[in-house]
DNA sequence: GAGTGGTCTAGACCACATT
DNA sequence: ATGTGGTCTAGACCACTCT
């Protein structure tokens, strides 16, 4: 990476800088390598630190850089492909997944979830209590997602009363798994990590995340709703039959067809 | 929205500001309403303009605000749910979708696409020419996605030679549609809009997008690859059977379960 | 021309991880 | 204690839209 000056251009400096850095990343850096610090880089390119940071932010958003306070900026590995069903043991509680249960409370569902339950569930009221299970999904030793799973009480009628807190979430998941899953539908959208999610994902609040909302249909009605929050910087969500097709490259410049 | 001063807090100012503004948006603003300009807002909350902008950026990322240079900041409508199959006429070229073809060239596929074709296609070489069709997807009168569709030549052997440029893409899509679609798999990841994509989507370069990569399998091999770029601010991708379930709310604060 | 959001600067200080 | 990225400031100017 030379001591290049930025030539005059129509495009914003930070955008040009992004391109220059992206090329340097491809040709001169290995995964895991640490970049010079922001002050040095800014000086090297003759821009203010804020401008350099704007370029780094872009590259981090694209999953090509990883920045850690107190440590430095490193070249990120390719994104992890995480299967998001349908397929395999997708019904929560199925055996060999990588979810780790964190806790469980009973509370009314937040408005967004309540309205989802409302549509697909005769007789459900927004103030009804639901089992709310928080889980964390690990992959390659890192946390990639946190999930809140909302299970209306009468979806799991066989649940024993008065369970100790540690047994409670396991029991809910087991009862859930006994039901027959008919279908599921999902939405994916961009969001930013709330404080609790951010902590579980080892990121700062506001970090970009992919929010996956799943409705599980069983017995002709919505049996459960899951809101999963995936780290957008490190994850690539995979859908469909093929599952684990490995793609080991970054999304690169595409050709215009016009 | 009062002339509130920010009280001292541990969390960063911009994050607290985001929360305050989000609440104001819920309670005091209607969709489409314009906010005060950034300089006024910053003064009102007693912060620098850059800090206020950081908060606005968050809210824009979450699809709650829309900012247009020279115009102002307005309250965004709920995100549009766009079906992303599998289901319905999903094979490109199927009848009643909302894609508009922009152009078509023949060129070698970019590296990322080439490696996808490589895996699922005996005898394919990275330098082989592919038909590259650019399309734009409209929804509710707005552009929501642009796509580059890569079709290896021998996927469409029946294609006549020497077509006029306008007829070319149509012919490719028609030939493609005659093949039997066996399966498809997808990945979704976060990206930032390249210059050409940004223009089609009426956004600035670097705008956050959801990149949907689809492999279409036909005749036991990958018949085509599509890379679609969806506006992350205005779109919610929907998967699965149910298709058009309308959700008319924003993702709101969720309860901790730990 | 007036008003908006977008870019950029040159500083300062803070929170955090490492030594 | 040092060095890193994260936050924040108070300005300036630019690009764009609208009247």
Where do the structural domains in chain B lie, given as residue ranges?
A: 13-75, 80-238
Contact positions of strand C to protein Cβ (< 7 A): 2-12, 15-18
Sorted by sequence, the CB contacts under 8 Å of residue A71 that are 6+ apart come out as none
Q: What is the mean pLDDT of residues B48-56?
A: 97
CA distance B145 to B227: 10
Reported as a single tens digit per residue, the pLDDT across B145-200 is 999 999 998 887 776 666 666 667 788 888 788 777 888 889 999 999 998 899 88
Contact list in B for residue A207 (CB cut-off 8 A) is: none
What is the predicted pLDDT for the residue at B29?
94
* Cross-chain residue pair A210–B190, CB shorter than 8 Å: yes
Span A13-75 CATH architecture: Orthogonal Bundle (1.10)
What is the predicted pLDDT for the residue at B163?
61
Q: What is the mean pLDDT of residues B133-154?
A: 90
What is the predicted pLDDT for the residue at B103?
84
Sorted by sequence, the CB contacts under 8 Å of residue A191 that are 6+ apart come out as A208, A209, A210, A211, A229, B61, B62, B251
Distances (CA, A) of A251 to A63, A145, A195, B91, B193: 10, 22, 30, 23, 11
Contact list in A for residue B184 (CB cut-off 8 A) is: 240
CA nearest to nucleotide D9 C1': residue: B48
Three-point CA angle A128, A133, A135, nearest 5°: 155
Burial group, residue A59, by CB count within 10 angstroms (0-12, 13-18, 19+): buried
Q: Which residue of A has its CA nearest to B254?
A: A110
Q: Is A194 on the interface with B (CB under 8 A)?
A: yes
* Cross-chain residue pair B233–A107, CB shorter than 8 Å: no
> Percentage of chain B with pLDDT > 90?
48
CA distance A218 to B10: 44
Span B80-238 CATH architecture: 3-Layer(aba) Sandwich (3.40)
């Amino acid at each position: 990476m030379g001591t290049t000056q930025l030539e005059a251009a129509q495009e914003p400096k930070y955008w040009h800088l992004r391109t220059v850095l992206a090329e340097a990343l491809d040709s001169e850096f290995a995964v895991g390598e640490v970049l010079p610090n922001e002050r040095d880089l800014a000086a090297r390119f003759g821009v203010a630190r804020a401008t350099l940071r704007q370029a780094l932010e872009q590259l981090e958003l694209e999953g090509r850089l990883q920045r850690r306070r107190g440590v430095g900026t490193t070249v990120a590995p390719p994104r992890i492909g995480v299967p998001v069903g349908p397929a395999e043991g997708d019904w929560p509680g199925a055996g060999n997944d990588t979810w780790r249960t964190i806790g469980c409370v009973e509370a009314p569902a937040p408005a967004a979830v309540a309205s989802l339950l409302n549509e697909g569930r005769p007789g459900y009221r927004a103030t009804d209590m639901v089992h709310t299970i928080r889980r964390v999904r690990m992959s390659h030793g890192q946390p990639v997602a946190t999930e809140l799973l909302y299970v209306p009480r009468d979806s799991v009628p066989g649940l024993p009363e008065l369970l100790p807190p540690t047994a409670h979430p396991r029991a809910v998941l087991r009862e859930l798994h006994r039901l027959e899953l008919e279908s599921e539908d999902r939405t994916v959208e961009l969001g930013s990590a709330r404080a609790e999610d951010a902590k579980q994902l080892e990121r700062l609040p506001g970090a970009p995340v992919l929010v996956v909302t799943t409705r599980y249909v069983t017995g002709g009605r919505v049996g459960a709703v899951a809101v999963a929050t995936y780290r957008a910087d490190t994850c690539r969500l995979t859908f469909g039959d093929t599952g684990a097709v490995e793609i080991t490259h970054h999304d690169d410049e595409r050709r215009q067809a016009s």
